[in-house]
Amino acid sequence: MEKKNAHYETIFIVNAELADEARDAIVAKFKTLIEENAEITKFDEWGKRRMAYPINDMHDGYYVFISFVAPHTFPAELDRVYKITDGLLRSLIINIDE
C-alpha cells in the first residue's frame, strides 16, 4: 500500500547580504509554495547565522526551517524551485518518516 502523505523537514539558507525586502520575499515565496501544496506543522526563521564554511565567499547566511506534511511528489517540485531561485545558497529536504 502506497503512502499518500509523509512528514518532511526543509532548511534553506538565503544570502544574508540581500536587502531585508529581498530576503523576506524569498522566505515568503517558499512559505507560500509549501502552504499551497502541504500542511506546515512548524515554521521557524533562525535568522542570520555564521555558516560552518564559506559558500561563494560568504560567511553568513539567513536560515529558515520548515516542517510539513505533503504528498510524496511535492519535495521534488520544491527542490526544483530551490535550484532555480537566485539568492538561495543551500537547501535540504529530508523525509523524517523513513
Domain architecture of the chain: domains with CATH: 5-95 (3.30.70.60)
Q: For the chain, what percentages of helix, strand and coil (3-state, to nearest 5) are there?
A: 30, 50, 20
Residue 98 has pLDDT above 90, yes or no: no
Q: Give the pLDDT confidence score for residue 72 in this predicted structure.
A: 92
In the chain, what percentage of residues exceed pLDDT 70? Answer: 96
Q: Which residue has the cell 505533503?
A: 70
Q: Give the pLDDT confidence score for residue 4 in this predicted structure.
A: 83
Each residue's pLDDT tens digit, 6-42: 999 999 999 999 999 999 999 999 999 999 999 999 9
Each residue's pLDDT tens digit, 71-86: 999 999 999 999 999 9
The 10 Å Cβ neighbour count of residue 30 is: 20
